């Protein structure tokens, strides 16, 4: 479990492709390496990944074929910056919202418009994801906990704003129109939908 409050931006040192269709990624970092252990979970651009190796300056994680299909991590390369966050501890402050690190899919940036020192961003998402996105609700974009400003159903898109401070702390402003971002919708919407659907009762046999 994570909060969506990015602790630092790391730099991809290298990516190697495995025979199984997955790959390994090594990320240079500092803050998230504090008390790191093998098997720990670190969110990389919002994707919960397991540490398989580390040294004083970097850590390595494995990316399965399913992770590469579901997220935008297959597009990162040596030198790419990524958002990093360690998993939540019982004593941690809950500064964002409940983020599982289970990316639901990707969206595409369709516009980036400055307003003062803030930045408006519009992202196009699939209808399957958009139905869980509501104005003033939470969403994790590349692992960053953000408040949705508006949902434009006819454009299958939503908007959010990054203030100047946040722009300096996350990777989203460094992306461009047409780039993909990882999206994780608020889990509460899924639970509500499931409860409203109810459960099918098997027909009695005659």
**pLDDT, tens only, 112-137:** 999 999 999 999 999 999 999 999 99
What is the spatial distance between Cα 130 and Cα 156, in angstroms, rounded to a whole number? 7
Q: Retrieve residue 104's tokens.
A: 């639901």
Q: Retrieve residue 180's tokens.
A: 């993909």
> Where do the domains of the chain lie, and which CATH numbers do they carry?
8-86 (2.40.30.20), 105-194 (2.40.30.20)
Q: What is the structure's pLDDT at 88?
A: 82
Contact yes or no for 141/175 (Cβ under 8 A): no
Summarize the chain as % helix, strand, coil (round to 5).
Answer: 20, 40, 40
What is the spatial distance between Cα 101 and Cα 142, in angstroms, rounded to a whole number? 10
What is the spatial distance between Cα 6 and Cα 84, in angstroms, rounded to a whole number? 6
Q: What is the structure's pLDDT at 166?
A: 94
Least confidently predicted of 30-34, 58-62, 116-120, 197-201:
197-201
Q: What is the structure's pLDDT at 150?
A: 97
Tokens 């994707």 belong to residue? 47
pLDDT tens by residue, 144-179: 999 999 999 999 999 999 999 999 999 999 999 999
Percent of the chain with pLDDT over 90: 77
Q: What is the structure's pLDDT at 100?
A: 87
Q: What is the structure's pLDDT at 198?
A: 73
Least confidently predicted of 33-42, 55-64, 113-122, 193-202:
193-202
Nearest Cα neighbor of 158 from 179, 197, 185, 193 is 185
Strands (E), 134-179: 138-141, 144-147, 150-152, 157-162
pLDDT tens by residue, 74-98: 999 999 999 999 998 766 666 667 7
Q: What is the structure's pLDDT at 45?
A: 97
């Amino acid at each position: 479990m994570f909060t969506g409050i990015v602790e630092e931006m790391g730099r991809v040192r290298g990516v190697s492709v495995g025979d199984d269709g997955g790959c390994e990624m090594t990320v240079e970092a500092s803050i998230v390496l504090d008390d790191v252990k093998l098997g720990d979970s670190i969110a990389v651009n919002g994707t919960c990944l397991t540490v398989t190796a580390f040294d004083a300056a970097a850590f390595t994680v494995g990316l399965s074929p399913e992770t590469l299909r579901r997220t935008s991590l297959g597009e990162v390369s040596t030198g790419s910056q990524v958002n990093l966050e360690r998993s939540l501890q019982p004593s941690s402050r809950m500064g964002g919202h409940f983020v599982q690190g289970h990316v639901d899919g990707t969206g595409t940036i369709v516009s980036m418009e400055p307003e003062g020192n803030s930045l408006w961003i519009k992202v196009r998402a699939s209808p399957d994801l958009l139905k869980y996105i509501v104005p003033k609700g939470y969403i994790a974009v590349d692992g960053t906990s953000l408040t949705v400003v508006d949902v434009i159903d006819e454009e299958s898109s939503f908007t959010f704003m990054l203030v100047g401070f946040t722009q300096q702390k996350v990777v989203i402003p460094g992306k461009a129109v047409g780039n993909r971002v990882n999206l994780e919708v608020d889990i509460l919407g899924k639970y509500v939908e499931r409860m409203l659907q109810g459960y099918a009762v098997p027909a009695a046999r005659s």
